């Protein structure tokens, strides 16, 4: 039996395939340095694990409400008020199985065949794939290095048509680590002001920002407030990738459909996980764990970027957020795919091909610095050797 036609364009995740190949080489005894996975290398903070154990003992083991308990939704609202200065009502919040299901829920709830959705190029590619499953068209807007990874508003405006139903914004962005400025987002707001277009704002990296940068939510721009559905989660800032917990915050008018639809997709998120996630948010300031991890990421970023920019053939902008460096390899004369293969085979360093994230990724590779400083230092030494070898 052939799978449904709408799945025709779906293939295995190339990042996972690349990681599997590197693991295989490691199993054969090769020393490998992996900078592929967008997964913090820290343990989940102890106070969250304790809260989960307590929740299990307290009997939070039955079916949860589809949208999650009030304690969780209130914790999300309190977090947005505290960190982002945005007031929401718990009636606007729905728990999800990570930001990934949140993206699936939002896109599949609004996109019909032939609709168009604007997505960044480059971008973590679930959005394009989910649009494809809906039979909708992902129209790419560029985030280019020479434009400091900001939205080119002229290009952006030219891509909007009568079929545009949604715009995906992701700041800080995966794979480039770029953070959109308030002015840039205000430019977007102006363009969509008189249009019936939804903004889907992926804010999964909003706590991981550096050099005093603040990630601005489109929802904080008054004219976008009622057009924006926020996606966020616990995987990155709280190092909770395996817990599979996230949420959306939606204008109230969309709540009912999203609630019913998520019921069909996941029937709620494990009750004990939601209790622990609420504690993660409520007690965060007390334990300061997000900040401790953020500071460590910032140190690694500074070191890695410094070393890359000492080389002759590689360069990068200082990324303002997330834990990715988008390294320019154009001076090597190789395509991004050739470079990744060359580096893996000859030097045991694994990075992700930029083109996985869209055509704007050609000439770039993504480095995740969610790896130990020891690995980063060892890999940078090897990277200098690779750089010298390119001279020969
Ligand atoms: C931009 C972006 N959105 C969503 C996700 C999914 O995150 P989660 O683990 O919460 O499903 C990722 C994961 O890498 C991501 O980079």
**Closest CA to ligand 1's atom 14:** 38
H/E run at residue 167:
strand 164-170
Q: Give pTM, 2 decimals.
A: 0.96
Please give the full DSSP string across 219-245, using - where no structure is assigned.
GGSGGGGGGEEEEEESTTTTT-GGG--
Measure 116 CA to ligand 1 centroid, in angstroms: 22
Measure 9 CA to ligand 1 centroid, in angstroms: 21
With bands split at pLDDT 50, 70 and 90, how would you rate the model's confidence at 16?
A: confident
* pLDDT > 80? residue 14: no
Residue pLDDT, tens place only, 139-185: 999 999 999 999 999 999 999 999 999 999 999 999 999 999 999 99
Return the CATH architecture of domain 5-43+288-389. Alpha-Beta Complex (3.90)
Measure 1 CA to ligand 1 centroid, in angstroms: 32
Asked if the domains at 5-43+288-389 and 46-286 fall in one CATH topology, the answer is no
Q: Which of the 8 DSSP states describes residue 42?
A: S
Fold of 46-286: 3.40.640
Residue pLDDT, tens place only, 301-319: 999 999 999 999 999 999 9
Q: Is residue 325 within 8 Å of residue 367, measured between CB atoms?
A: yes
Measure 164 CA to ligand 1 centroid, in angstroms: 24
Could you state, in order of their start, the residue ranges of all structural domains in the chain? 5-43+288-389, 46-286
Measure 130 CA to ligand 1 centroid, in angstroms: 13
CB-based pocket (< 6 A), ligand 1: 38, 98-100, 124, 170, 174, 202, 204, 233, 235, 241, 246
Measure 248 CA to ligand 1 centroid, in angstroms: 13
So what's the pLDDT on residue 347? Answer: 95
**Closest CA to ligand 1's atom 1:** 174
Q: Which atom of ligand 1 is nearest to the CA of 322?
A: 16
- Burial (CB < 10 A; 0-12, 13-18, 19+), residue 46, is exposed
Mean pLDDT taken over the chain: 96
Q: Which of 98, 207, 230, 352 to mutate to test the pocket of ligand 1 (most atoms within 8 A of CB)?
A: 98
Percent of the chain past pLDDT 90, that is, above it, reads: 92
With bands split at pLDDT 50, 70 and 90, how would you rate the model's confidence at 23?
A: confident
Q: What is the β-pairing status of strands 228-233 and 246-249?
A: antiparallel
Residue pLDDT, tens place only, 266-303: 999 999 999 999 999 999 999 999 999 999 999 999 99
């Amino acid at each position: 039996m052939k799978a449904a036609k709408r799945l025709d364009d779906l293939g295995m995740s190339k990042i996972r395939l690349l990681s599997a190949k590197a693991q295989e080489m490691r199993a054969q005894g090769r020393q490998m340095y992996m900078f592929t996975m967008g997964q913090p290398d820290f343990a989940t903070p102890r106070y969250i694990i304790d809260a989960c154990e307590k929740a299990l003992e307290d009997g939070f083991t039955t079916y949860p409400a589809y949208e999650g308990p009030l304690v969780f939704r209130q914790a999300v609202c309190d977090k947005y008020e505290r960190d982002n200065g945005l007031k929401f009502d718990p009636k606007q919040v729905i728990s999800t199985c990570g930001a990934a299901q949140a993206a699936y829920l939002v896109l599949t709830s609004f996109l019909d065949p032939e609709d168009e959705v604007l997505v960044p190029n480059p971008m973590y590619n679930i959005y394009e794939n989910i649009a494809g499953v809906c039979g909708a068209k992902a129209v790419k807007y560029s985030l280019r290095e020479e434009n400091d990874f900001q939205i080119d508003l002229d290009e952006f405006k030219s891509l909007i048509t009568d079929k545009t139903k949604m715009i995906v914004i992701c700041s800080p962005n995966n794979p480039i680590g770029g953070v959109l400025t308030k002015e840039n987002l205000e430019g977007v707001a102006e363009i969509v002001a008189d249009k019936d277009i939804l903004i889907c704002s992926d804010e999964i990296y909003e706590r991981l920002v550096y050099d005093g940068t603040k990630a601005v939510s489109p929802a904080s721009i008054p004219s976008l407030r009622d057009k924006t559905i926020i996606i966020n989660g616990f995987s990155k800032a709280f190092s909770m990738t395996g817990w599979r917990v996230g949420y959306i915050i939606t204008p109230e008018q969309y709540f009912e459909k999203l609630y019913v639809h998520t019921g069909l997709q996941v029937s709620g998120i494990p009750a004990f996980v939601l209790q622990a996630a609420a504690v993660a948010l409520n007690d965060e300031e007390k334990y300061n764990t997000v900040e401790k991890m953020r500071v460590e990421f910032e140190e690694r970023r500074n070191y890695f970027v410094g070393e890359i920019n000492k080389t002759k053939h590689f360069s990068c902008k200082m990324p303002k957020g997330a834990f990715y460096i988008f390294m320019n390899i154009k001076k090597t004369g190789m395509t991004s795919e050739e470079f990744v293969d060359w580096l893996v085979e000859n030097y045991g360093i694994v990075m992700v091909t930029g083109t996985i994230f869209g055509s704007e990724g050609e000439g770039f590779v993504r480095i995740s610095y969610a790896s130990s400083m020891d690995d980063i230092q060892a890999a940078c030494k090897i990277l200098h050797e690779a750089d010298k070898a390119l001279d020969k």
